[in-house]
Amino acid sequence: TIDHQWMDKAFVQRLFNLFIAGTILSCLLCIGIALNKYIGGADFTVFYYKELSIFHHPSYMAMYINFAVVIILYKLVSRWNSYSPGWKVSWLALLIFFNVFIITLASKAGIISLGLVYLIAVSYVIARKKFSLSWVIGLMLAALAFLYMFFPYSYNRMTVARAAVEQEELDKESTEGSVLRMLIWQSSFEILEDHFLFGVGTGDVANALMEKYEEKGITLGVEQRLNAHNQFLQIWLAIGIPGLITLLLMLLLPAWQAFRRYNLVYFLFLFIMAFNFIFESMLEAQSGVVFYAFFNMFLFIAKDKVESSGS
């Protein structure tokens, strides 16, 4: 991306295709390894959540697959009329496959963000007066909801999280992810009461959180040395309001430009990142930093190479 004068539309499409191919291969490897474990005597949970996602935490894996879905939606929107019936069916089948895999990953943020991606895409095609495509993407959203109801492990994770969060008092010994996040967020805001403007410093965030966890009796937070599980809070804790404003501008300014240019891929990429930032400190791990840094710069540079109106 330093010398990008040679970059053309063909290269952008090749990179998109390679990312989709890599995502498919990763999913198939995860399924193959899970199947091998199951044949070897493991129970059916090897096809879900962390047991299934062998390369990354399920939240990161779901984020990658969501972006692969975005690329496919872009291809359908920009080239629907030029695809043969066979290619159309192939792309739609791949979307269904990705729907199923994200559901089996049982990442709550991944499932919700995928549904929102479809909703935004439907709104986009309606705004661009591509009504024939709106029902296709709407069908994918309906398929996601339908399939979700038939995967009890993933469904139960949602219902358990909802029940736990709705309790009058959060259980500080809970291992349920949503409850733990809320306890961590409460701890983060308590720290910010004394360090609102400039944070505690980049090298002191972990220690400040551990002290607060010990004070509040959040055992698992101390044992696993958990970060803020929210990128906005993480930045705020580290370098204060200036850092938080910078992060917001890094997301909002290019998102506004992408929206104005009808750049579906870049806008949805930034949406996926921002949504996941709410639930994970994505930029604290290489899996998040590399993905964001590469594709944010690539999509910014390639914005004129990505067809914006389906031409």
Name the band, by pLDDT with cuts 50, 70 and 90, for residue 159.
Answer: confident
Q: Which of 112-121, 133-142, 301-310 has the lowest mean pLDDT?
A: 301-310
As a whole number, mean pLDDT of residues 184-208 equals 95
Contacts 24+ apart (CB under 8 A), 156-164: 157/49, 157/106, 157/108, 158/108, 158/111, 161/108
Q: How far apart are CA 104 and CA 106, in angstroms?
A: 5
pLDDT at position 154 is 86
Which has the higher per-residue pLDDT, 132 or 99? 99
- pLDDT of residue 2 exceeding 70: no
Question: What digits encode the pLDDT tens for the residues 197-214?
Answer: 999 998 999 999 999 999
As a whole number, mean pLDDT of residues 178-197 equals 93
Q: Is this model's pTM higher than 0.85 or not?
A: yes
Question: What digits encode the pLDDT tens for the residues 12-67?
Answer: 999 999 999 999 999 999 999 999 999 999 999 999 999 999 999 999 999 999 99
pLDDT at position 310 is 45
Which residue type does 146 have?
Answer: F
Name the band, by pLDDT with cuts 50, 70 and 90, for residue 296.
Answer: very high
Which has the higher per-residue pLDDT, 116 or 302? 116
Rounded to the nearest 10°, the torsion over CA 123, 279, 101, 87 is 30
As a whole number, mean pLDDT of residues 222-242 equals 96
Question: Six-digit token pair at 86?
Answer: 């066979």
pLDDT at position 227 is 95
Residue among 63, 73, 41, 140 at smallest CA distance from 108: 63
| H-type alpha helices, 55-151 | 58-79, 85-105, 108-127, 131-149
pLDDT at position 308 is 54
Quickly count helices (H) and strands (E) in the chain: 13, 0
